Amino acid sequence: MNKPIATSLRTKEILERFHLYARKSLGQNFITDPSVVRRIAESSRCQGQAVIEIGPGIGALTEQLALLAKKVVAFEIDDRLPEVLAWSLQEYSNVEIRHQDFLKADLPEVVADLKQEAEQVVLCANLPYYITTPLLFKIFESEAEISVITVMMQKEVGDRMAARVSTKDYNALSVLVQYGYEVKTIMKVPRTVFNPKPNVDSSVVQFVKRKQKPAVLDEQLFFEIVKACFKQRRKTIYNNLREYLPNQQEVQRILQEAGIDPTERAENLELETFIRLSEVWYERKSVC
Protein backbone atom coordinates (compact mmCIF):
# COMPACT_ATOMS: atom_id res chain seq x y z
CA MET A 1 0.00 0.00 0.00
CA ASN A 2 1.25 3.50 -0.82
CA LYS A 3 1.95 6.14 1.77
CA PRO A 4 -1.09 8.29 2.64
CA ILE A 5 -1.93 10.88 0.00
CA ALA A 6 -1.61 13.62 2.63
CA THR A 7 2.14 13.08 3.07
CA SER A 8 4.30 15.81 1.52
CA LEU A 9 6.10 13.23 -0.64
CA ARG A 10 2.93 11.65 -2.04
CA THR A 11 1.26 15.02 -2.60
CA LYS A 12 4.31 16.20 -4.53
CA GLU A 13 4.31 12.99 -6.57
CA ILE A 14 0.66 13.39 -7.58
CA LEU A 15 0.98 17.08 -8.38
CA GLU A 16 4.03 16.45 -10.56
CA ARG A 17 2.57 13.41 -12.29
CA PHE A 18 -0.47 15.37 -13.45
CA HIS A 19 1.24 18.76 -13.79
CA LEU A 20 -1.12 20.19 -11.21
CA TYR A 21 -1.17 23.40 -9.19
CA ALA A 22 -3.67 24.74 -6.68
CA ARG A 23 -6.31 26.96 -8.25
CA LYS A 24 -6.75 30.08 -6.14
CA SER A 25 -10.12 30.78 -7.82
CA LEU A 26 -11.45 27.51 -6.36
CA GLY A 27 -9.91 28.06 -2.94
CA GLN A 28 -7.67 25.00 -3.27
CA ASN A 29 -5.08 24.19 -0.61
CA PHE A 30 -3.78 20.62 -0.31
CA ILE A 31 -3.32 19.17 3.19
CA THR A 32 0.12 17.67 3.72
CA ASP A 33 -0.23 16.19 7.21
CA PRO A 34 -1.77 12.67 7.40
CA SER A 35 -2.57 13.02 11.10
CA VAL A 36 -4.90 15.95 10.39
CA VAL A 37 -7.02 14.21 7.75
CA ARG A 38 -7.02 10.99 9.77
CA ARG A 39 -8.38 12.79 12.82
CA ILE A 40 -11.04 14.60 10.77
CA ALA A 41 -12.21 11.30 9.25
CA GLU A 42 -12.24 9.53 12.62
CA SER A 43 -14.29 12.31 14.23
CA SER A 44 -16.83 12.47 11.36
CA ARG A 45 -18.83 9.44 12.63
CA CYS A 46 -18.63 7.88 9.16
CA GLN A 47 -17.61 4.41 10.39
CA GLY A 48 -19.70 1.86 8.50
CA GLN A 49 -21.94 4.62 7.10
CA ALA A 50 -22.25 6.59 3.86
CA VAL A 51 -20.39 9.90 3.64
CA ILE A 52 -20.62 12.86 1.28
CA GLU A 53 -17.48 14.92 0.63
CA ILE A 54 -17.26 18.31 -1.08
CA GLY A 55 -14.09 19.22 -2.99
CA PRO A 56 -11.88 16.15 -2.52
CA GLY A 57 -8.89 17.77 -4.25
CA ILE A 58 -6.35 15.02 -4.88
CA GLY A 59 -8.00 12.69 -2.34
CA ALA A 60 -6.18 13.22 0.96
CA LEU A 61 -9.31 13.26 3.14
CA THR A 62 -11.26 11.02 0.74
CA GLU A 63 -8.72 8.25 1.31
CA GLN A 64 -9.12 8.37 5.09
CA LEU A 65 -12.92 8.40 4.77
CA ALA A 66 -12.79 5.41 2.41
CA LEU A 67 -10.85 3.42 5.01
CA LEU A 68 -13.71 3.87 7.51
CA ALA A 69 -16.96 4.38 5.60
CA LYS A 70 -19.13 1.93 3.72
CA LYS A 71 -19.51 4.38 0.81
CA VAL A 72 -17.97 7.76 -0.11
CA VAL A 73 -19.53 10.11 -2.67
CA ALA A 74 -17.26 13.08 -3.43
CA PHE A 75 -18.32 16.13 -5.43
CA GLU A 76 -15.56 17.82 -7.43
CA ILE A 77 -16.03 20.87 -9.66
CA ASP A 78 -12.46 21.13 -11.03
CA ASP A 79 -12.29 19.62 -14.54
CA ARG A 80 -8.71 18.46 -13.95
CA LEU A 81 -9.34 16.33 -10.89
CA PRO A 82 -11.64 13.39 -11.74
CA GLU A 83 -8.77 11.79 -13.67
CA VAL A 84 -6.36 12.47 -10.80
CA LEU A 85 -8.75 11.01 -8.24
CA ALA A 86 -9.39 7.92 -10.36
CA TRP A 87 -5.64 7.27 -10.17
CA SER A 88 -4.91 8.34 -6.57
CA LEU A 89 -7.90 6.44 -5.15
CA GLN A 90 -7.78 3.38 -7.42
CA GLU A 91 -7.41 1.06 -4.41
CA TYR A 92 -10.80 2.08 -3.01
CA SER A 93 -13.84 0.52 -4.66
CA ASN A 94 -16.21 2.26 -2.23
CA VAL A 95 -15.45 5.76 -3.59
CA GLU A 96 -17.60 7.49 -6.21
CA ILE A 97 -16.42 10.77 -7.71
CA ARG A 98 -19.13 13.04 -9.09
CA HIS A 99 -17.84 15.74 -11.42
CA GLN A 100 -20.48 18.27 -10.43
CA ASP A 101 -20.93 21.58 -8.64
CA PHE A 102 -22.25 20.61 -5.21
CA LEU A 103 -24.39 23.76 -5.09
CA LYS A 104 -26.34 22.43 -8.08
CA ALA A 105 -26.78 18.90 -6.75
CA ASP A 106 -30.17 17.60 -5.62
CA LEU A 107 -29.01 16.87 -2.09
CA PRO A 108 -32.17 15.18 -0.74
CA GLU A 109 -32.06 12.82 -3.75
CA VAL A 110 -28.36 12.05 -3.21
CA VAL A 111 -29.00 11.31 0.46
CA ALA A 112 -32.08 9.19 -0.29
CA ASP A 113 -30.01 7.05 -2.67
CA LEU A 114 -27.25 6.61 -0.11
CA LYS A 115 -29.78 5.63 2.55
CA GLN A 116 -30.43 2.54 0.43
CA GLU A 117 -26.84 1.47 1.16
CA ALA A 118 -26.26 2.67 4.72
CA GLU A 119 -28.25 3.38 7.85
CA GLN A 120 -26.93 6.93 8.17
CA VAL A 121 -25.49 9.59 5.88
CA VAL A 122 -22.91 12.06 7.16
CA LEU A 123 -20.99 14.83 5.43
CA CYS A 124 -17.29 15.55 5.83
CA ALA A 125 -15.23 18.08 3.88
CA ASN A 126 -12.42 20.59 3.75
CA LEU A 127 -14.47 23.54 2.49
CA PRO A 128 -13.08 26.28 0.25
CA TYR A 129 -12.94 29.47 2.32
CA TYR A 130 -14.56 31.68 -0.30
CA ILE A 131 -17.79 29.64 -0.46
CA THR A 132 -18.07 28.07 3.00
CA THR A 133 -21.29 29.79 4.10
CA PRO A 134 -23.27 29.18 0.85
CA LEU A 135 -22.25 25.50 0.92
CA LEU A 136 -23.29 25.05 4.54
CA PHE A 137 -26.60 26.84 4.13
CA LYS A 138 -27.42 24.70 1.09
CA ILE A 139 -27.02 21.70 3.42
CA PHE A 140 -28.92 23.30 6.31
CA GLU A 141 -31.82 24.49 4.15
CA SER A 142 -32.14 21.28 2.13
CA GLU A 143 -33.61 19.36 5.08
CA ALA A 144 -31.76 16.31 3.72
CA GLU A 145 -31.29 13.51 6.26
CA ILE A 146 -27.65 14.22 7.07
CA SER A 147 -27.14 13.44 10.75
CA VAL A 148 -23.61 14.83 11.23
CA ILE A 149 -21.67 17.49 9.31
CA THR A 150 -17.93 17.75 9.99
CA VAL A 151 -16.14 20.45 8.02
CA MET A 152 -12.88 22.34 7.99
CA MET A 153 -13.25 26.07 7.41
CA GLN A 154 -11.55 29.36 8.06
CA LYS A 155 -11.00 29.60 11.84
CA GLU A 156 -12.76 32.96 12.11
CA VAL A 157 -15.95 31.59 10.52
CA GLY A 158 -15.79 28.40 12.57
CA ASP A 159 -15.40 30.41 15.78
CA ARG A 160 -18.58 32.35 14.97
CA MET A 161 -20.62 29.27 14.24
CA ALA A 162 -19.57 27.52 17.45
CA ALA A 163 -19.57 30.67 19.62
CA ARG A 164 -21.39 30.75 22.92
CA VAL A 165 -23.46 33.62 24.27
CA SER A 166 -21.63 36.67 25.69
CA THR A 167 -18.44 35.97 23.74
CA LYS A 168 -16.87 38.22 21.10
CA ASP A 169 -17.66 35.78 18.25
CA TYR A 170 -21.33 35.24 19.11
CA ASN A 171 -23.52 36.73 16.37
CA ALA A 172 -26.62 36.10 14.24
CA LEU A 173 -24.89 33.22 12.44
CA SER A 174 -24.20 31.52 15.80
CA VAL A 175 -27.87 31.73 16.80
CA LEU A 176 -29.31 30.62 13.45
CA VAL A 177 -26.96 27.64 13.11
CA GLN A 178 -27.35 26.52 16.71
CA TYR A 179 -31.13 26.67 16.34
CA GLY A 180 -30.93 23.59 14.11
CA TYR A 181 -27.69 21.94 15.25
CA GLU A 182 -25.53 21.16 18.24
CA VAL A 183 -22.23 22.79 17.26
CA LYS A 184 -18.72 22.19 18.57
CA THR A 185 -15.13 22.76 17.45
CA ILE A 186 -13.25 19.48 16.95
CA MET A 187 -9.76 20.85 16.36
CA LYS A 188 -7.72 23.83 15.24
CA VAL A 189 -5.59 23.43 12.11
CA PRO A 190 -2.57 25.69 11.51
CA ARG A 191 -1.97 27.14 8.06
CA THR A 192 1.43 25.38 7.96
CA VAL A 193 -0.12 21.99 7.08
CA PHE A 194 -1.33 23.21 3.67
CA ASN A 195 0.31 23.48 0.28
CA PRO A 196 0.14 26.27 -0.74
CA LYS A 197 -0.05 27.88 2.70
CA PRO A 198 -3.16 30.08 3.14
CA ASN A 199 -3.09 33.41 4.97
CA VAL A 200 -5.27 32.20 7.85
CA ASP A 201 -5.60 29.25 10.21
CA SER A 202 -8.49 26.78 10.03
CA SER A 203 -10.74 24.91 12.40
CA VAL A 204 -12.79 21.74 12.10
CA VAL A 205 -16.35 22.26 13.26
CA GLN A 206 -18.99 19.58 13.75
CA PHE A 207 -22.74 20.08 13.44
CA VAL A 208 -25.00 17.38 14.88
CA LYS A 209 -28.58 17.78 13.71
CA ARG A 210 -31.06 18.27 16.54
CA LYS A 211 -33.62 15.47 16.67
CA GLN A 212 -36.18 18.19 17.21
CA LYS A 213 -35.56 21.88 16.65
CA PRO A 214 -36.89 24.30 19.30
CA ALA A 215 -40.49 25.19 18.47
CA VAL A 216 -41.09 28.60 16.89
CA LEU A 217 -44.40 29.99 15.67
CA ASP A 218 -42.96 31.49 12.47
CA GLU A 219 -39.47 30.35 11.46
CA GLN A 220 -38.99 33.05 8.82
CA LEU A 221 -39.95 35.77 11.31
CA PHE A 222 -37.54 34.25 13.85
CA PHE A 223 -34.68 34.41 11.32
CA GLU A 224 -35.50 38.02 10.43
CA ILE A 225 -35.63 39.14 14.06
CA VAL A 226 -32.33 37.49 14.95
CA LYS A 227 -30.62 39.22 12.02
CA ALA A 228 -32.25 42.54 12.95
CA CYS A 229 -31.08 42.27 16.57
CA PHE A 230 -27.46 41.88 15.45
CA LYS A 231 -27.56 44.44 12.62
CA GLN A 232 -25.12 46.74 14.42
CA ARG A 233 -23.29 44.81 17.10
CA ARG A 234 -22.55 47.71 19.45
CA LYS A 235 -26.10 49.03 19.42
CA THR A 236 -28.65 48.01 22.05
CA ILE A 237 -31.32 45.55 21.04
CA TYR A 238 -33.89 48.34 21.27
CA ASN A 239 -32.01 50.58 18.82
CA ASN A 240 -31.47 47.74 16.35
CA LEU A 241 -35.13 46.69 16.46
CA ARG A 242 -36.28 50.28 15.92
CA GLU A 243 -34.79 50.01 12.41
CA TYR A 244 -36.77 46.81 11.83
CA LEU A 245 -39.99 48.22 13.30
CA PRO A 246 -40.03 52.05 13.34
CA ASN A 247 -42.86 52.24 15.91
CA GLN A 248 -40.84 52.93 19.09
CA GLN A 249 -43.69 52.29 21.51
CA GLU A 250 -44.46 48.93 19.88
CA VAL A 251 -40.81 47.85 20.13
CA GLN A 252 -40.80 48.79 23.81
CA ARG A 253 -44.00 46.83 24.45
CA ILE A 254 -42.70 43.73 22.66
CA LEU A 255 -39.41 43.78 24.57
CA GLN A 256 -41.25 44.24 27.86
CA GLU A 257 -43.60 41.32 27.15
CA ALA A 258 -40.61 39.15 26.21
CA GLY A 259 -38.86 40.09 29.45
CA ILE A 260 -35.88 41.67 27.69
CA ASP A 261 -34.05 44.75 28.97
CA PRO A 262 -34.12 47.25 26.05
CA THR A 263 -30.57 48.40 26.93
CA GLU A 264 -29.22 44.83 26.49
CA ARG A 265 -27.14 43.88 23.48
CA ALA A 266 -27.97 40.90 21.26
CA GLU A 267 -24.64 39.19 21.99
CA ASN A 268 -25.84 38.59 25.57
CA LEU A 269 -29.11 36.85 24.68
CA GLU A 270 -29.55 33.07 24.64
CA LEU A 271 -31.21 31.21 21.77
CA GLU A 272 -34.31 30.66 23.94
CA THR A 273 -34.63 34.43 24.47
CA PHE A 274 -34.65 35.09 20.73
CA ILE A 275 -37.32 32.41 20.33
CA ARG A 276 -39.45 34.04 23.05
CA LEU A 277 -39.00 37.45 21.40
CA SER A 278 -40.13 36.09 18.02
CA GLU A 279 -43.18 34.47 19.64
CA VAL A 280 -44.28 37.72 21.30
CA TRP A 281 -43.65 39.54 18.01
CA TYR A 282 -45.71 36.98 16.09
CA GLU A 283 -48.62 37.17 18.53
CA ARG A 284 -48.73 40.97 18.48
CA LYS A 285 -48.51 40.99 14.69
CA SER A 286 -51.43 38.53 14.52
CA VAL A 287 -53.54 40.80 16.72
CA CYS A 288 -52.77 43.97 14.72
10, 57, 125, 135 from 128: Cα distances, Å: 22, 10, 9, 9
Q: In the chain, what are the domain boundaries?
A: 8-209, 219-287
Q: In what order do the strands lie in the sheet with 181-189?
A: 95-99, 71-76, 50-54, 121-126, 148-154, 202-209, 181-189
Right CATH for 8-209 from 3.40.50.970, 3.40.50.150, 1.10.3720.10, 3.30.479.20: 3.40.50.150
SS3 (DSSP) at 145 = coil
Q: Would you say the CATH fold of 219-287 matches that of 8-209?
A: no
CATH level 2 (architecture), domain 219-287 = Orthogonal Bundle (1.10)
Q: CA–CA separation, 118 vs 148, rounded Å?
A: 14
**Cα 213 from Cα 160, distance rounded (Å):** 20
Sign of the torsion formed by the C-alpha atoms of 16, 17, 21 and 22:
negative
pTM of the model: 0.89
pLDDT truncated to tens, each residue of the chain (288 aa)?
578 999 999 999 999 999 987 676 655 678 889 999 999 999 999 999 999 999 999 999 999 999 999 999 999 999 999 999 999 999 999 999 999 999 999 999 999 999 999 999 999 999 888 889 899 999 998 889 999 999 999 999 999 999 999 999 999 999 999 999 999 999 999 999 987 788 899 999 999 999 888 999 999 999 999 999 999 989 999 999 999 888 889 999 999 999 999 999 999 999 999 999 999 999 987 665
Is the CB of residue 269 less than 8 Å from the CB of residue 260?
yes
